[in-house]
Protein backbone atom coordinates (compact mmCIF):
# COMPACT_ATOMS: atom_id res chain seq x y z
CA UNK A 1 0.00 0.00 0.00
CA UNK A 2 1.15 3.53 -0.81
CA UNK A 3 -0.40 6.72 0.56
CA UNK A 4 0.84 10.21 -0.13
CA UNK A 5 0.25 13.88 0.58
CA UNK A 6 1.94 17.18 -0.09
CA UNK A 7 2.21 17.49 3.72
CA UNK A 8 3.66 14.44 5.45
CA UNK A 9 5.12 14.92 8.94
CA UNK A 10 8.72 13.73 8.81
CA UNK A 11 11.35 14.53 11.45
CA UNK A 12 9.38 17.40 12.93
CA UNK A 13 8.32 19.12 9.71
CA UNK A 14 6.02 18.73 6.73
CA UNK A 15 7.27 17.67 3.31
CA UNK A 16 5.65 16.31 0.13
CA UNK A 17 6.10 12.56 0.38
CA UNK A 18 4.59 9.14 -0.06
CA UNK A 19 4.63 6.39 2.53
CA UNK A 20 5.03 2.77 1.47
CA UNK A 21 3.52 0.14 3.78
CA UNK A 22 4.33 -3.55 3.75
CA UNK A 23 3.09 -6.13 6.27
CA UNK A 24 2.09 -3.53 8.81
CA UNK A 25 5.30 -1.52 8.73
CA UNK A 26 6.61 1.47 6.84
CA UNK A 27 8.93 -0.03 4.24
CA UNK A 28 10.15 3.27 2.80
CA UNK A 29 9.32 6.95 2.43
CA UNK A 30 9.76 8.42 -1.04
CA UNK A 31 9.19 11.71 -2.82
CA UNK A 32 5.60 12.69 -3.57
CA UNK A 33 4.53 11.11 -6.86
CA UNK A 34 7.51 8.73 -7.09
CA UNK A 35 5.13 5.78 -7.49
CA UNK A 36 1.43 5.43 -8.24
CA UNK A 37 -0.31 5.69 -4.83
CA UNK A 38 -3.31 3.79 -3.56
CA UNK A 39 -4.50 6.95 -1.78
CA UNK A 40 -3.54 10.54 -2.55
CA UNK A 41 -4.56 12.84 0.29
CA UNK A 42 -3.47 15.96 -1.60
CA UNK A 43 -2.89 18.73 1.00
CA UNK A 44 -4.31 16.92 4.02
CA UNK A 45 -1.77 16.23 6.78
CA UNK A 46 -0.40 12.72 7.23
CA UNK A 47 1.01 12.40 10.75
CA UNK A 48 2.10 9.54 13.01
CA UNK A 49 -0.69 7.90 14.97
CA UNK A 50 -1.43 9.57 18.29
CA UNK A 51 -0.40 7.73 21.46
CA UNK A 52 -2.44 8.26 24.64
CA UNK A 53 -0.47 7.00 27.64
CA UNK A 54 -2.95 8.22 30.26
CA UNK A 55 -6.60 7.37 29.62
CA UNK A 56 -9.07 5.56 31.89
CA UNK A 57 -11.98 4.85 29.59
CA UNK A 58 -14.88 6.06 27.46
CA UNK A 59 -18.44 5.26 26.47
CA UNK A 60 -19.38 4.14 29.96
CA UNK A 61 -16.45 1.71 30.20
CA UNK A 62 -13.45 2.07 32.54
CA UNK A 63 -10.17 0.16 32.53
CA UNK A 64 -10.96 -0.93 36.11
CA UNK A 65 -13.82 -3.10 34.84
CA UNK A 66 -13.28 -6.75 33.84
CA UNK A 67 -15.33 -6.37 30.64
CA UNK A 68 -13.73 -7.62 27.40
CA UNK A 69 -16.60 -6.15 25.38
CA UNK A 70 -16.13 -2.67 26.86
CA UNK A 71 -12.40 -2.67 26.20
CA UNK A 72 -12.80 -3.95 22.64
CA UNK A 73 -15.34 -1.22 21.86
CA UNK A 74 -12.95 1.37 23.32
CA UNK A 75 -9.98 0.35 21.20
CA UNK A 76 -12.15 0.22 18.08
CA UNK A 77 -13.43 3.76 18.71
CA UNK A 78 -10.10 5.46 19.50
CA UNK A 79 -8.86 5.74 15.87
CA UNK A 80 -11.72 8.16 15.16
CA UNK A 81 -9.78 10.69 17.27
CA UNK A 82 -6.43 9.73 15.77
CA UNK A 83 -5.29 7.38 18.55
CA UNK A 84 -3.60 4.28 17.15
CA UNK A 85 -2.07 2.98 20.40
CA UNK A 86 -2.67 3.57 24.11
CA UNK A 87 -2.13 2.53 27.70
CA UNK A 88 -5.42 1.63 29.43
CA UNK A 89 -5.05 3.32 32.81
CA UNK A 90 -6.34 1.93 36.08
CA UNK A 91 -7.38 3.90 39.17
CA UNK A 92 -7.01 3.20 42.87
CA UNK A 93 -9.20 0.21 43.63
CA UNK A 94 -9.04 -2.86 45.85
CA UNK A 95 -6.31 -5.38 45.09
CA UNK A 96 -8.93 -7.86 43.87
CA UNK A 97 -10.52 -5.34 41.49
CA UNK A 98 -7.17 -4.34 40.04
CA UNK A 99 -6.15 -7.95 39.48
CA UNK A 100 -9.38 -8.62 37.56
CA UNK A 101 -8.83 -5.49 35.47
CA UNK A 102 -5.25 -6.45 34.62
CA UNK A 103 -6.29 -9.96 33.60
CA UNK A 104 -9.02 -8.51 31.39
CA UNK A 105 -6.61 -6.16 29.60
CA UNK A 106 -4.13 -9.00 29.07
CA UNK A 107 -6.91 -11.23 27.69
CA UNK A 108 -8.11 -8.63 25.17
CA UNK A 109 -4.58 -7.70 24.10
CA UNK A 110 -3.85 -11.32 23.18
CA UNK A 111 -6.91 -11.37 20.89
CA UNK A 112 -5.44 -8.61 18.66
CA UNK A 113 -8.66 -6.88 17.69
CA UNK A 114 -8.53 -4.31 14.88
CA UNK A 115 -8.20 -0.78 16.24
CA UNK A 116 -5.83 1.02 18.56
CA UNK A 117 -3.08 -1.21 19.93
CA UNK A 118 -2.94 -1.87 23.67
CA UNK A 119 0.69 -1.09 24.46
CA UNK A 120 0.44 -2.17 28.09
CA UNK A 121 -1.04 -0.80 31.29
CA UNK A 122 -0.62 2.51 33.09
CA UNK A 123 -1.04 1.76 36.79
CA UNK A 124 -2.23 5.00 38.40
CA UNK A 125 -2.49 4.26 42.09
CA UNK A 126 -2.90 2.88 44.65
CA UNK A 127 0.39 4.47 45.77
CA UNK A 128 -0.84 8.08 45.91
CA UNK A 129 -1.02 10.87 48.47
CA UNK A 130 -4.24 11.23 50.47
CA UNK A 131 -4.47 15.04 50.14
CA UNK A 132 -3.88 14.97 46.39
CA UNK A 133 -5.88 11.84 45.59
CA UNK A 134 -8.43 13.49 43.25
CA UNK A 135 -11.10 10.93 42.37
CA UNK A 136 -9.04 7.98 43.63
CA UNK A 137 -10.76 6.04 46.41
CA UNK A 138 -9.22 6.98 49.75
CA UNK A 139 -10.05 3.65 51.40
CA UNK A 140 -7.75 1.85 48.94
CA UNK A 141 -4.75 4.20 49.04
CA UNK A 142 -1.68 2.45 50.40
CA UNK A 143 2.08 2.68 50.66
CA UNK A 144 4.17 1.57 47.67
CA UNK A 145 4.85 -2.17 47.77
CA UNK A 146 7.33 -4.07 45.61
CA UNK A 147 5.58 -7.32 46.50
CA UNK A 148 2.18 -6.09 45.36
CA UNK A 149 3.67 -4.59 42.21
CA UNK A 150 5.31 -7.94 41.36
CA UNK A 151 1.93 -9.63 41.77
CA UNK A 152 0.33 -7.15 39.39
CA UNK A 153 3.04 -7.82 36.82
CA UNK A 154 2.62 -11.56 37.14
CA UNK A 155 -1.17 -11.57 36.67
CA UNK A 156 -0.95 -9.16 33.73
CA UNK A 157 1.86 -10.99 31.95
CA UNK A 158 4.24 -8.06 32.52
CA UNK A 159 1.88 -5.57 30.91
CA UNK A 160 2.45 -2.76 33.41
CA UNK A 161 4.67 -0.37 31.45
CA UNK A 162 4.06 2.93 33.26
CA UNK A 163 3.14 3.75 36.84
CA UNK A 164 2.10 6.91 38.68
CA UNK A 165 3.14 7.12 42.33
CA UNK A 166 3.52 9.79 45.00
CA UNK A 167 7.28 9.62 45.40
CA UNK A 168 7.29 10.92 48.98
CA UNK A 169 5.55 7.74 50.15
CA UNK A 170 8.02 5.41 48.44
CA UNK A 171 10.36 4.63 51.31
CA UNK A 172 13.97 5.03 50.17
CA UNK A 173 12.54 5.12 46.60
CA UNK A 174 12.57 1.31 46.68
CA UNK A 175 9.66 0.72 44.31
CA UNK A 176 10.82 3.51 42.00
CA UNK A 177 14.21 1.88 41.63
CA UNK A 178 12.83 -1.64 41.31
CA UNK A 179 10.26 -0.72 38.66
CA UNK A 180 12.60 1.43 36.58
CA UNK A 181 15.29 -1.27 36.65
CA UNK A 182 12.71 -3.75 35.37
CA UNK A 183 11.50 -1.79 32.37
CA UNK A 184 8.61 0.12 33.93
CA UNK A 185 8.56 3.90 33.61
CA UNK A 186 7.76 5.70 36.87
CA UNK A 187 5.84 8.97 36.82
CA UNK A 188 5.45 11.31 39.80
CA UNK A 189 1.86 12.32 40.43
CA UNK A 190 -0.88 12.84 43.01
CA UNK A 191 1.98 14.02 45.15
CA UNK A 192 2.64 16.43 48.03
CA UNK A 193 6.40 16.12 47.65
CA UNK A 194 8.72 19.06 47.98
CA UNK A 195 11.13 20.07 45.25
CA UNK A 196 14.14 18.17 46.58
CA UNK A 197 12.16 14.98 47.18
CA UNK A 198 10.84 15.07 43.61
CA UNK A 199 14.32 15.67 42.21
CA UNK A 200 15.66 12.75 44.27
CA UNK A 201 12.91 10.55 42.84
CA UNK A 202 14.15 11.46 39.36
CA UNK A 203 17.69 10.58 40.42
CA UNK A 204 16.39 7.18 41.57
CA UNK A 205 14.63 6.24 38.36
CA UNK A 206 11.45 8.30 37.92
CA UNK A 207 11.30 9.84 34.46
CA UNK A 208 8.08 11.82 34.14
CA UNK A 209 5.28 13.70 35.86
CA UNK A 210 1.58 12.84 35.58
CA UNK A 211 -0.99 15.45 34.47
CA UNK A 212 1.19 18.48 35.23
CA UNK A 213 -0.24 20.98 37.74
CA UNK A 214 -3.21 18.76 38.57
CA UNK A 215 -3.20 16.82 41.87
CA UNK A 216 0.27 17.89 42.94
CA UNK A 217 2.00 20.38 45.24
CA UNK A 218 2.11 23.76 43.54
CA UNK A 219 5.14 25.98 43.08
CA UNK A 220 5.92 28.65 45.68
CA UNK A 221 8.81 31.07 45.46
CA UNK A 222 10.32 29.64 48.64
CA UNK A 223 9.45 25.97 47.93
CA UNK A 224 9.25 25.06 44.23
CA UNK A 225 7.35 21.85 45.00
CA UNK A 226 6.54 19.14 42.49
CA UNK A 227 5.60 21.74 39.88
CA UNK A 228 8.99 23.39 40.21
CA UNK A 229 10.68 20.03 39.69
CA UNK A 230 8.70 19.17 36.59
CA UNK A 231 9.29 22.58 35.02
CA UNK A 232 13.01 22.81 35.78
CA UNK A 233 14.04 19.22 35.04
CA UNK A 234 14.45 17.44 31.71
CA UNK A 235 11.86 14.81 32.69
CA UNK A 236 8.73 14.23 30.64
CA UNK A 237 5.63 16.16 31.67
CA UNK A 238 2.09 15.10 30.82
CA UNK A 239 -0.58 17.76 30.35
CA UNK A 240 -4.36 17.59 29.89
CA UNK A 241 -4.96 20.11 27.12
CA UNK A 242 -8.68 20.76 27.37
CA UNK A 243 -8.65 24.33 28.72
CA UNK A 244 -10.34 23.34 31.99
CA UNK A 245 -7.74 21.26 33.79
CA UNK A 246 -4.99 23.77 33.01
CA UNK A 247 -5.32 27.37 31.81
CA UNK A 248 -4.15 27.84 28.20
CA UNK A 249 -1.48 30.35 29.24
CA UNK A 250 -0.14 27.96 31.89
CA UNK A 251 0.10 25.26 29.23
CA UNK A 252 2.12 27.68 27.11
CA UNK A 253 4.34 28.50 30.11
CA UNK A 254 4.97 24.77 30.55
CA UNK A 255 6.07 24.38 26.93
CA UNK A 256 8.32 27.42 27.25
CA UNK A 257 9.87 26.10 30.47
CA UNK A 258 10.55 22.73 28.84
CA UNK A 259 12.00 24.27 25.70
CA UNK A 260 9.07 22.90 23.68
CA UNK A 261 10.36 19.38 24.33
CA UNK A 262 9.22 16.40 26.40
CA UNK A 263 5.68 17.66 27.03
CA UNK A 264 3.16 14.85 26.49
CA UNK A 265 -0.44 15.44 25.52
CA UNK A 266 -2.80 13.13 27.42
CA UNK A 267 -6.58 12.99 27.67
CA UNK A 268 -6.92 11.52 31.20
CA UNK A 269 -10.39 10.67 29.93
CA UNK A 270 -12.68 8.61 32.14
CA UNK A 271 -15.70 6.47 31.36
CA UNK A 272 -18.00 9.48 30.82
CA UNK A 273 -16.20 10.34 27.59
CA UNK A 274 -18.71 10.27 24.76
CA UNK A 275 -21.71 10.36 27.11
CA UNK A 276 -24.23 13.22 27.45
CA UNK A 277 -24.18 15.70 30.33
CA UNK A 278 -25.38 13.99 33.50
CA UNK A 279 -24.50 12.03 36.65
CA UNK A 280 -22.69 8.70 36.44
CA UNK A 281 -20.96 6.04 38.54
CA UNK A 282 -17.44 5.65 37.15
CA UNK A 283 -14.77 3.46 38.77
CA UNK A 284 -16.93 3.30 41.91
CA UNK A 285 -17.08 7.10 42.12
CA UNK A 286 -20.19 9.24 41.56
CA UNK A 287 -19.31 11.97 39.05
CA UNK A 288 -21.17 14.73 37.26
CA UNK A 289 -20.35 15.53 33.64
CA UNK A 290 -20.86 19.18 32.66
CA UNK A 291 -21.66 20.66 29.26
CA UNK A 292 -17.95 21.32 28.62
CA UNK A 293 -17.08 17.63 28.95
CA UNK A 294 -15.36 17.98 32.32
CA UNK A 295 -16.20 15.44 35.03
CA UNK A 296 -16.40 16.43 38.71
CA UNK A 297 -16.69 14.33 41.83
CA UNK A 298 -20.39 14.74 42.51
CA UNK A 299 -21.22 17.60 44.86
CA UNK A 300 -17.63 18.93 44.97
CA UNK A 301 -15.33 21.25 43.04
CA UNK A 302 -12.76 18.46 42.50
CA UNK A 303 -12.18 17.49 38.87
CA UNK A 304 -12.52 13.75 38.30
CA UNK A 305 -11.31 13.58 34.71
CA UNK A 306 -12.00 14.65 31.16
CA UNK A 307 -13.82 13.57 28.04
CA UNK A 308 -11.10 15.04 25.82
CA UNK A 309 -10.34 13.53 22.42
CA UNK A 310 -6.68 13.51 21.38
CA UNK A 311 -7.23 15.40 18.13
CA UNK A 312 -9.07 18.07 20.12
CA UNK A 313 -6.06 18.29 22.43
CA UNK A 314 -3.70 18.83 19.50
CA UNK A 315 -6.06 21.51 18.18
CA UNK A 316 -6.10 23.21 21.59
CA UNK A 317 -2.31 23.23 21.81
CA UNK A 318 -1.87 24.68 18.32
CA UNK A 319 -4.64 27.21 18.89
CA UNK A 320 -5.52 28.46 22.37
CA UNK A 321 -2.18 27.49 23.91
CA UNK A 322 -0.16 29.14 21.10
CA UNK A 323 2.09 26.13 20.58
CA UNK A 324 3.45 25.50 17.08
CA UNK A 325 1.62 22.88 15.03
CA UNK A 326 4.80 20.82 14.81
CA UNK A 327 5.36 20.86 18.59
CA UNK A 328 1.70 20.00 19.22
CA UNK A 329 1.99 16.94 16.97
CA UNK A 330 5.22 15.82 18.63
CA UNK A 331 3.51 16.01 22.02
CA UNK A 332 0.94 13.47 20.82
CA UNK A 333 3.34 11.18 18.95
CA UNK A 334 7.11 11.11 19.43
CA UNK A 335 7.29 12.31 23.05
CA UNK A 336 4.82 9.76 24.47
CA UNK A 337 6.62 7.07 22.46
CA UNK A 338 9.94 8.12 23.98
CA UNK A 339 8.47 8.38 27.46
CA UNK A 340 7.53 4.69 27.47
CA UNK A 341 10.51 3.51 25.44
CA UNK A 342 8.87 2.53 22.14
CA UNK A 343 10.30 5.24 19.88
CA UNK A 344 12.06 2.54 17.85
CA UNK A 345 8.69 1.50 16.40
CA UNK A 346 6.09 4.18 17.16
CA UNK A 347 5.74 7.95 17.15
CA UNK A 348 7.35 8.92 13.84
CA UNK A 349 7.06 8.28 10.12
CA UNK A 350 10.21 6.47 9.11
CA UNK A 351 11.28 3.21 7.51
CA UNK A 352 10.91 0.23 9.83
CA UNK A 353 8.32 1.77 12.15
CA UNK A 354 4.80 0.44 12.58
CA UNK A 355 2.48 1.87 9.95
CA UNK A 356 0.34 3.80 12.44
CA UNK A 357 -0.74 6.80 10.38
CA UNK A 358 -3.43 9.44 10.74
CA UNK A 359 -4.80 11.82 8.12
CA UNK A 360 -6.13 15.11 9.47
CA UNK A 361 -7.26 18.43 8.02
CA UNK A 362 -6.03 21.84 9.14
CA UNK A 363 -8.56 21.81 11.98
CA UNK A 364 -7.21 18.41 13.14
CA UNK A 365 -10.45 16.65 12.28
CA UNK A 366 -9.55 13.04 11.54
CA UNK A 367 -10.18 12.00 7.95
CA UNK A 368 -8.63 8.53 8.12
CA UNK A 369 -6.61 6.36 10.48
CA UNK A 370 -4.37 3.37 9.80
CA UNK A 371 -3.29 0.92 12.50
CA UNK A 372 -0.39 -1.30 11.45
CA UNK A 373 -1.14 -0.41 7.84
CA UNK A 374 -4.83 -1.28 7.98
CA UNK A 375 -7.34 1.51 7.47
CA UNK A 376 -9.56 1.19 10.53
CA UNK A 377 -11.32 4.54 10.30
CA UNK A 378 -12.51 6.81 7.48
CA UNK A 379 -14.68 9.88 7.92
CA UNK A 380 -16.42 9.06 4.64
Element of type H or E holding 48 = strand 45-48
Q: In whole angstroms, what is the distance from residue 102 CA to residue 121 CA?
A: 8
Residue 78 DSSP SS3: helix
DSSP designation for 239: E
Residue 45 DSSP SS3: strand
| Cis preceding-peptide flag for 126 (omega within 30 of 0) | yes
**CA dihedral for 55, 56, 62, 68, sign (positive or negative):** positive
Q: In whole angstroms, what is the distance from residue 124 CA to residue 56 CA?
A: 9
Q: In whole angstroms, what is the distance from residue 3 CA to residue 22 CA?
A: 12
Catalytic residue among 242, 268, 354, 356: 268
Side-chain half-sphere CA neighbours of 334 within 13 A? 17
Q: In whole angstroms, what is the distance from residue 225 CA to residue 308 CA?
A: 27
Cross-strand pairs, 31: 17
Q: In whole angstroms, what is the distance from residue 294 CA to residue 274 CA?
A: 11
Structural contact between residues 321 and 258, judged by C-beta atoms closer than 8 angstroms: no
The candidate with the shortest Cα–Cα distance to 358, out of 345, 371, 346, is 371
Q: Is 354 a catalytic residue?
A: no
| Residues with active-site annotation | 268
Amino acid sequence: MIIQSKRVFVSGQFIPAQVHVDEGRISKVEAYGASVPDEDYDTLLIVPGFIDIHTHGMGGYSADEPSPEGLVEWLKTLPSEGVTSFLPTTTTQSRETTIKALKNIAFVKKQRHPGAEILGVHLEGPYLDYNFRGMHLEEHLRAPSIEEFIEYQEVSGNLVKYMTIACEHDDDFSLTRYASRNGVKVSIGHSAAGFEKAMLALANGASSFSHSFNAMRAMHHREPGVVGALMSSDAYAEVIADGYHVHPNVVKILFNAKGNRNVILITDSIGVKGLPEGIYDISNVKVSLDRHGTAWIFGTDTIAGSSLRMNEGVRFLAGRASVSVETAILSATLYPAKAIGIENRKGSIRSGNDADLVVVDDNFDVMAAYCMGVKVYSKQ
